[in-house]
Amino acid sequence: MNGASAASSRRHLVFALGVFIASLAVYAWTLAPTVTLVDSGELILAARSLGVAHPPGFPLYVLLAHIATLIPIGNIAVRVNFASAIFAALAAAVLSLVVVEAMVTAGLATQSTKDRKKSGDRRSKKRAGALSQIRDEDVHAHPLILILPFLVSGLLLAFSRTLWAYATIAEVYTLNTLLIGAIFLLMFRWRRVIETGRRLNETGRQGDAATRREDHVSGSSPRHALLYAAAFVFGLALGVHHVTVGLMLPAFAALVFATEGIKFFTSKRLLYAGLFAFAGLFAVYAYLPLAASRAPIMNWGDPRTFERLWWHITGRQYQVFLSFSLHTAVSQFGDFIKLAAREFGPWWLPVAPALAIAGMVALFRSNRPVFWFLALVIIADLAYALGYEIAEDKDAYYLPVFIAMAIAAGFGAAWLINKVMSSTSSFLPGAARSVTAAVVLLVPIVALAANLPYNNRSRYYIAHDYTENILSTIEPGGMLLTRDWQVYSPMLYVREIEHQRADAVVIDINQLRRSWYYDYLARAYPATIDQARDEVDAFLEDLRHWEQDPDLYQRDVSLNQRINSRFYEMIVALVSNHIRSAPVYVTLDIAANRDGTDSELTKSLGGSYQFIPQGLVFQLSTSREFQQPAEPQLITRGLADGTLKFDDDDVVKLKVLPVYVTMFYNRGRYLAVNNRHEQAIESFKQALALDPRFSLAQKAINDSLAAVRKANENKAQ
């Protein structure tokens, strides 16, 4: 490396460090102060207890997040949230270096091609060099021009809606993004080394042909160390979110083919790369059976045997959500377009997507290897994600697409800069460069300004308040049954990490369909399980057979009916045993579930008990007489006061806010049916305060007002 190259590399590292610091500062400023919704509570518990998280287990994330929990700063949730921030900031910095490597390699490849040509078309030469080369005089006149493209890419990713959203909470996706970026960086760096060696060979500065041929075929050449390092990181990354990482394989193969040709795939190097990848994979996934053998608090799937380990890694329980149909793909594609349109700024100002498109067009014209690399990243990711119907974290499955868009935007910025600098019509070249630089830098600033209101979670107490509001209603020793993961996941954190309300028995009905969950229940609530031991054992007998061969239960109607009957009999036994000594409560998703999954449970409970609205839950009562519901004193910080902003597809708007609104409405209806109209009106008003568009509450107010007027008229007569 000559002095100029060394200075350039140092400059790139300095600016990459700047991307990291800027990103981390923003993430720290907007960091969630406690547990959040979706998987946050469960993941924090798995990390804290060195346990096993939901499939595929995320072993590398759990290990790194566990280290974060040991740092004595803030509460446990904040520590894990900040780990996500560090991963995301590093991912943004690494991506900026990926753009540098890709552009430098493009220049080397172009120069190598020129060296091989005796003569060539001037137009094609100009086109090949336009994207990746900046004239020396321009660099000396305006050094900032050299770093703008990779600065734009790094900051765009940092301030993108999706990565930023996961950088402030406990989730696996920022680490996943970092590892994908690290693989990209190592791959492009390897390609750069190969292209540098090829150029030196062609100019006669490297050994004889025999030495070059031996080096080219040997798998132990030092210049392939970067490739093997990329393979090892690839294996490690499979221990975070293996689906999105595995989807990168076609792009990696295309880049290797563009660099080394077909001979790589028939050489020992492919075998060596595979071995390094397997070593990384084995190193992280060996954690799962080791952790399970310790019987930790969170031991999802209990993957102690090879069979259970395989089920866990392959996400067997989630495969029902895969539906590769045209209808599903079209529907999901529409949702993806909405997500992509807002990813880097407001949909009505698509400057970042425009830069990304310009970058892809420029790459297609001048740098096909990088074009096809990015195109395959996008195609492979969309091919999978469009067939996967999930709700809360679907945007994270598109992160590889957004990474590719950020890289392409960097090339688009380079194309724009070169276009301005090479223009002969500019009368003020210095001013034109400055204006162009300012415009390009505005792109990530637009993303920052547009996404800040949605990603600022510095006052995000919604999940913690949700659990507090529910637990405040439950009497000492009470039981809560729920099917709502937005209730149960943060409840795990509150119970097991903060050690609050250990007296309350909280059971997730959905998890009762997994045999591993009974080990947790037996540890957390031994008396509850012992009281219903016969019913629990009867259901577990069928459940374990079902886990081995679920298709058998689909084919055999009698077996299907038996397992369902035993399931509901077990839950009814849990309720009937517990209600003798302490109250039992259910969440809205159970009480109002008349036609969906587990509707038979709702009908069974409704036939034996009265549902009395108490705050955000219903209390089960054996009496059919009216019972005055407690006056709810609910904490609603950030829910509808304007201090936090949510998209229409945010889990808060879809699953949390409707519970608050509906439960105020249900309380009002219960009071109104029992002629407590004045109290009912107050409850209906509380529902409207949270959602002014809730027409049922407005209609109910009018009905109650009419009933009050009629009652007053009758008294007057």
Predicted local distance difference test score (pLDDT) of residue 389: 74
- Provide mean pLDDT across the span 161-178: 97
pLDDT more than 90, % of the chain: 72
pTM: 0.91
**Mode of pairing for the β-strands spanning 505-508 and 584-587:** unpaired
- The 10 Å Cβ neighbour count of residue 139 is 13
Q: Which CATH number fits domain 636-717: 1.25.40, 1.10.760, 1.10.10, 1.10.3470?
A: 1.25.40
Residue 179's closest CA among 256, 253, 239?
A: 239
Residue 429's closest CA among 417, 420, 437, 438?
A: 420
| Per-residue pLDDT band at 318 (split at 50, 70, 90) | low
CB contact set of 141 (below 8 Å; sequence gap of 6+) = 430, 433
Query: pLDDT by residue (tens digit) across 412-433?
Result: 998 888 887 776 554 556 677 7
Predicted local distance difference test score (pLDDT) of residue 159: 98
Provide the terminal-to-terminal Cα distance of the chain, rounded to the nearest Å. Answer: 102
**Cα 30 to chain center, whole Å?**
17
**pLDDT of 213 strictly over 70:** no
Predicted local distance difference test score (pLDDT) of residue 314: 86
* Burial of 629 from C-beta contacts in 10 A (0-12 / 13-18 / 19+): buried
445's enclosing H/E stretch is: helix 429-455
**Mode of pairing for the β-strands spanning 479-482 and 505-508:** parallel
Query: pLDDT by residue (tens digit) across 32-85?
Result: 999 999 999 999 999 999 999 999 999 999 999 999 999 999 999 999 999 999
**pLDDT of 127 strictly over 90:** no
Question: Which amino acid, one-letter code, is at 59?
Answer: P
Predicted local distance difference test score (pLDDT) of residue 421: 74
Mean pLDDT of the chain: 88
DSSP state of 641: S
- Provide mean pLDDT across the span 22-29: 98
**pLDDT of 704 strictly over 90:** yes
Domain boundaries defined on the chain: 3-455, 461-627, 636-717
**Cα 436 to chain center, whole Å?**
34
Of residues 632 and 693, the one with the higher pLDDT is 693
**pLDDT of 353 strictly over 60:** yes
Distance from C-alpha of 478 to C-alpha of 474, rounded to nearest angstrom: 6
| Per-residue pLDDT band at 196 (split at 50, 70, 90) | confident
**pLDDT of 146 strictly over 80:** no
Q: 3-state class of 547 per DSSP?
A: helix
**pLDDT of 222 strictly over 70:** no
Q: Is the peptide bond before 56 cis (omega within 30 degrees of 0)?
A: yes
Selection from 107-121, 317-331, 567-581, 585-599 with the highest mean pLDDT: 567-581
Predicted local distance difference test score (pLDDT) of residue 2: 58
Distance from C-alpha of 248 to C-alpha of 632, rounded to nearest angstrom: 51
| Per-residue pLDDT band at 140 (split at 50, 70, 90) | very low
Q: 3-state class of 137 per DSSP?
A: helix
